[in-house]
Structures are given as structure tokens and as C-alpha cells.
Chains A and B, each alone.
Chain A
Amino acid sequence: MITKDKGIIAIVAVVVLVAVLSVINSNTQKSEADNGKPLSIQSWQSEHGAKVMYVHAPQLPMVDIRLVFDAGSARDGKLPGLAMMTNAMLDLGAGEWSTDTIAERFDSVGAQFSNDSLKDMAIFSLRSLTEPDLLNEAITTLNTILVKPKFIESELQRTRQQVLINLRNQEQSMSTIASKTFYQALYPEHAYGSPVMGTVDSINAITRDDLIKFYKKYYVASNAVVAIVGDLDKAEAEEQVAQILKGLPEGEAAEKLLEAQPLNEAKRIHKAHPSSQTHVLIGQPGMKRGDEDYLALYVGNHILGGSGFGSRIVEEIREKRGLAYSSYSYFSPMRVNGPFILGLQTGNGNTQQALTILDEVLREFIDKGPTEEELQHARKNITGGFALKVDSNKDIIGYLGMIGFYNLPLDYLATFNERVEAITLEQIHDAFKRRINPDKLVTVTVGTK
């Protein structure tokens, strides 16, 4: 088999070495990667109407599976935290198995299972080896969690206590205080304003029946996307997806979310907190996934504050003045307009100066747009770095879940670079002028005045 290369010390051996190495390489390093070929995404409907997104990645004997339900906190209704609690309870007892047994079943086959709850999405992730005995056990466990959760009353009580501790933990985290305050101010009438983790009152109020009702309505095939990346051919992938979803009712897709309304006026909110720094978040509702201005805003923001060193915000805040370690801007596109955010943390005494600079930088950018040189630089950075965005199964499964969930075209990744190349200065300038109003921003500060 593979001969391990010896440590080679002398430089004079280069010529000989090259010959030796190339022999070894040709024998052992047969690349099966689809180098140069665009990522080929296939999609189909499962038997009961779930959308399946698939990429064949045969290089490693492993598979990543991600289930995404339209069952995030945007579906909480009158009980903030209901979506998160439902998501968290699914693997705490299902079918014949206790929480402990489920944990042992995943661990004993080397599988990694996790769940997560966001504003739009409820997510279940499984990573497993593809060796059939191991994979089948992991898939059976996943299927049972999905279709036969027991919502055991004692586990609900325990989870409730855990969440209450998490809520108290959030009260000692300045970044979380800032973020929760920011979303509430940005979306006063919209579900996005409600905290994913819920509130003390709502968490105490949630009953087992609430969980079951939520589960039955949203955890259905028509409301699901299954993404799968790994060493399974298409037939095998189809078979595994069928196993995962076996017994999941067809149901209905979640109702359309209300649009997020733009802000009527600027808001300034300060939360007092004993601290050495002040955390700053500024923004307003921005854009949605599939937005017609998506790329213009994305490329523009890259220049404004989305690309670290070299972006205007980092130059002005950090490089010229040393005011903050972290400063940035970004759009968080969601089902409906997610936030546009500018943020930083700075020593308490510098807060006003930092706020003034952020305001000036943003206004100037909206007023005049980027320069041709900045646009050229951004294009090169984004397109030149594309290969890095999809260089692992972990990256690809994330994209598949997102593309499937937001109904983006299957060639979203394949055409990404050419669409970025096509963005003009005028489009960026125009999009920022239309979409961002610097007179109607929410400004949240958390810290000691």
C-alpha cells in the first residue's frame, strides 16, 4: 500500500526527489474530486412531498444529512419559545426509547446528531459513516425522533428548567442583550421581533399539548426540506431519504409569513449594564432570500463592512482609530426582510465617537456609492474565493439546506460568480439608496454610560 514518505533534509536532493514523489503520487493520489466542475445539485420530491436536495460527494465514506422544517420561531404565535421547545424535545424520548437510549444509539455508531432552532428554520443535522450497519442504525434513530416523539412530561419539565437557566445566562451576555433588544425594536409587529428562546412567562406557560399541536402542524413532509451530501449514489440517497421520512404525514406547507414593515422613525435604545465596553447594534429591516436586490446589496455591503480588513467600516473604526476589535456590517436575508446590521464593541468612553463615525460612513456610502476600484476589488475577492465556500461537505450541506428552504434556483451556486461579475456601480448605489434609509435606523447600545 502507501509507502510513507521519508523526511527529506537536503535541498540538493530536489531533482531526485521530484521523480520519486511523482511516482508515489500517480499511484496513490488518484483524485476523484470533481475539480473544476460546478457543483451538481439534484433535487426531487419525496413520496410524501418533502423537497430533497442532493449532492454526490464520494471522496469520504461519510454522509451529512440536514432536515429543515419551516418551523422556526416565526411560527411561535402567542407563545415565544414554542418552536424552540418543540425542536429540543424531539430527541428526548421517541418510539420505544428514552433520551438516554437515543443518545447511546447515535454515539455507539459514531454518528453526530444535533438540532437547532432559528427564526425561520427548525433544523436537524446528522453526520454518519456510510458503512451500512452504522448508517442504518443512525437513520432508524433519526426517523423515530421525527415521527414518534413522545413529549414526555418529565422531560418537558426538565427542559423548561434548562431554558429558564439559558434565559438568565442571556441576561449576563451583553451581545445577547443587544441582539434581543435590536430585533424587538426592528420588528415590533412581526414574529421576527420575538426571541427564539422565548420569555420567562411564555416558557412557564408552554404545555405538552402546545408542543404536540405545534409538532403535528409543522413537522410534516410538505413543510420539510431534506438535504443530503456524501458517499451515497442517487439510488442510495433516495432510499435513505425514504427511510428518514417514513411515516411522516404529508400535511401542508406553513402559511405565508407576513411581510416585515419598514420603520417609521429612528429609535435610540440604551440598556444599562455594568461593563468596560459598550456594545452597539444599528440597523433596520433589510432584504429577503431571493430578493431582486440581493447581489447588489451583498456586493455593496462587502465594500461597506462585510469583508473585514479593507472594508470601509473596519478601516475607519479599527485601522484609523483603534476604536474596536470587531466592527462590521451585514445583511441577514430571511424568508421576509431580515435585518441589515452595523455593529461594534468599544470602550465606554468612545461610544459617541464610534456612533458618529458609523453614521458618517453609512451616509457617505448611500450618498455616493462605492468607487470603481472598490467594486473591482470586491469582485475579485468574492469570485476568487468562491472555491473556498464549497470546499467541504459541511459547507455544501449548509448551502443545500438554504437553497432548498428558500426555493432558490438549483444553479444558484453554479452561476454565482457570473452574477457577481455583472453587478455594476449604479446597481449598488441605486439599491442602497432605495433600500437603506439612514434617517430611520434603530440604534441599540448596551453598556455603562
Chain B
Amino acid sequence: MNLLDLVILLPLAGFLLVLVLPKEEPGMIRNFTLIISLIVFATSLGLIAPFWFNTPGKFVFETDVPWINSPAIRYHIGLDGISLWLVLLSTLLTPLCVLVSWRYIDKHVKQFYAFLLLLEFGLIGVFCALDFFLFYVFWEVSLVPMYFLIGIWGHDRRIYSAVKFFLYTMAGSMLMLVAIIYLYNQSGTFDYTKILAGLQSGSIPISSYAQLWLFLAFFIAFAIKVPLFPLHTWLPDAHVEAPTAGSVMLASVMLKMGTYGLLRFCVPMFPSAARACAGWIVTLAIIGIVYGALVAMVQPNMKKLVAYSSVSHLGFVVLGIFSFTQQGFDGAVYQMLNHGVSTGALFILVGFLYERRHSLEIAAYGGVATPAPKLGIVFMITMLASIGLPTLNNFIGEYLVLQGASMVYFRWTVFAALGVILSACYMLWLYQRTFLGKASEDLTHHMPDLNFREYAIIVPLIVLMVWMGSFPQTFLPPISTSNAALLGPLDSRREIHVRAVPPHLPGLQTHTELANAR
């Protein structure tokens, strides 16, 4: 049992322990969950160690033990530079979500924290699983607690949103299951590394027709999760109705399951199908970037605005992945993390506002910065990070993605860059309407400034925004190494079209003709 196993299993143990705690003691349950999630985070920091001085291009902390004998299903997990930071993102945000829910969740406290820990277990597992069956198990397991988090503790339309969220994901993952079983029947294993090697060396025979269908089956499952336009409609509902902790986990980590799946499985395993579809997918991604931004601009509801901004931001990630360039890949992964940090922070701040005023309508606010200047400052930093101001995190990711895309097709960059401009519009306008202007008497009365607990939640994220924006080299090397490992065989397998020599060109002769001439 290595450190990674510990990081995966601790939340599960925490989940089981919370279940046996007495429900009459909500304070004890809160403290216990906070401690457990902090321990998980502290433990997960140890995962950085092998990446600190040199950056291995292969998986570390691998555990590979049989789970079910026939069919051969293995508990195979491992970590590379891509999954490392996503795991850390999950373990960082869980204790923050515990703190966010400290006052807000006052009914069924025990179940809430139990589901939160189960969710953490599922999410960490998704990013480490190297066995397709195991991956599918974690993928679905993370779905159930989120369903309950939205459905039990959400706002008014929570039931509709929870069911919609579940069904969308379920429909997609069913297609993925078919593809996984098909791959198993062709290769006799669920092991990701073996299947990838087999597909790349050609030892697993898959026709280009089958490859296209397999690619689409995986792609649709992941695209729903990302969500890619036009499969995004579950997202605004789920985000708006979920409690703050649910929105944060959903936006910051769960959406990354989709993009992670695209990067880890879809593109490396089915490169020619991915290249064949890249034009369509990038078009959808760019539509998503612009459409998400435009819709965000007209939202009267803050959470919905942030939700649509997610559609826009995740479009960048997809664009980066389907540029098939090193910069694009790096930018995509970095953007996943940036979005996790800055959009997570935005949802947390919207949650702070909601706790004070009990409204998500932008119109209910105005002039908040006067009674709560510190809240105003952190919101401004977060908002600027989300826009992509240089020295803050999103800038790095968006720049890399745009550069990667421009290397392939410059027109993509032009359209995608529109999204950056539009994001400045909706974010600045949101800030202006909410924080600036004259505060009403009623609002001033209900708007205390940040307290200690809220500082403890938001300061780590602000620090990260500046750090990731100013010193990206802390984070990028492991990502680049792993991306290069994914991208290497991808480039070498780029299809080269060989044409017969046109007969009217006399200067060119084939080998046979040369031999005959001799």
C-alpha cells in the first residue's frame, strides 16, 4: 500500500466512519469531516515528491492487484503529471467545501458530510484509475453522492436538476460502457497501459470504422461531462440548484472528469478518429466559448452567470486538446486547474453573498463593496483571474491554448479570443452591478465583512491564483512531461498520405520502373 492508495482510501474510511457517528452531534461530524479531509490533503501533498526534482514520464505510485479474476479486472492505479494536480485540486477543495458548508448546511448534517467524502473518494479514484473497469466504477460512484447533494440540499428546482444531471451522465456513460466492453473483448484486458500500447503497436486489431465508433462512444460520455455545446444544458441547472459546496465540487473537479477523459483516453487511444473529428469538435468548442460567454452576459442570476462562464472556459480546454500540440495540451491541463481554482472561488464567493442576503439575483445587490470592502477585494481578484488578467492564473492557460490552436489553424484563435474579450464584459459588469454604486440601507444591514472562517476558505485560493499566474513553472513541468508522453506516439502516428506518381511527370520513376530500365 503506497501513498496514493492511502489518499484514495482515507476518504472512503471517512465516509464509513461518518455513517456511524451519532446524527444528534452535528458539531462533532463537522469537525471530524474537516480533520479527515485535511489529513487527506496533507497526505496528498506527499504525492508531489517524485515530481519535485525530476519529472518522470511514466506513472508513479502504481498499485496493480487483481480484483476480479474472470473477466480480468484489476485494481490498477497510478499517478502522472496530469492526474497529480487534479488529485491535489480535489483534496484541496474538499476541506474548503466542508468549511463553506459549516453554517449553511443545518439539516441532515451527517448525510451531507458523508456524501461529500464519498464524492471525494470517487473523484480521486477517477483521476488515478488505470483500469477501464475501475475507471468506470469511480466515474459512476462519483455520480451518486453528487445526485444526493443537489437533490437534498439544493435550491427550489433541485429535484429537476438532480435527475437531469444523473440521466445525462448515465446516458453518456452507457455508451462508454459498451466501448469499454468492446475493447476488452478485442484485447482481453481492461488495463489502460496495455490497451494503449496494443492500439499504438497495432497488436489489438481495430478497424478504422470501429475506431471511429469507439472514439464517438467515449467522446460523447466525456463531452456530456465537460460539457461541450450542445450537450451542456444540464450544467446551468445543476450548478444553480446545488448548494455552494456542490457547485464548487461540480465546477472545479467534476467537469474535469470529462476533459481528463478526453485527454487521457479518447485522443491517445483513437488518434486518427480524433484527428478526423477534430474540425467538428473544435467548432463546437468555439461555439461553446462564444455562446457561453454571450449567455452569461445576460443572466440575472449570479450562479447561472458563473455556470455559463464555465461552459465558455471549458471550451478552451477542449480547443487545446484537439489542437494536438504540446502547447495546446499543456494549456488545456493548466486551464483545467485554473478553472478549478478561480471558478471554485467564484462559486464560494457567490455562496458568501447568498448566506448574507439569501438571494442569487444580481438585482438584489449593489454597492456591496461599501459595507464589505474586503469581500469586494477578494471578489475583484477572483473575477480578474477569471477574466484572464496577466499575472493571474487563467492568463497562462488561455495563452497556451490560444498559441497551440494558432499553430494549427489561426482562424480558431481569432474566434476563441472573442471569448476572452466577452469574459471581461460579463465579469466586469457583474462586479459593477453587485459591488459598486450606492448600497441600500437594507443591504448594508445584512452585509458583514468576511469573518475568520471565510478568510480561511478564500485566502488559499487567492494565493493559488497569484502563484499559478506568476510562477507557472512550479506546476507546468510534470504536466508537460506527461503530455509529451501522450503526444509523442500521437504525432508519429499522424497519417501520411502517399499518392501514386502522376504518369505525366516524366522525371519521377518508381522503383520497379527503375529496375526494369536497368
State whether these chains interact. Answer: no
Chain B interface residues toward A at CB < 8 A: none
Contacts from A to B (Cβ < 8 Å): none
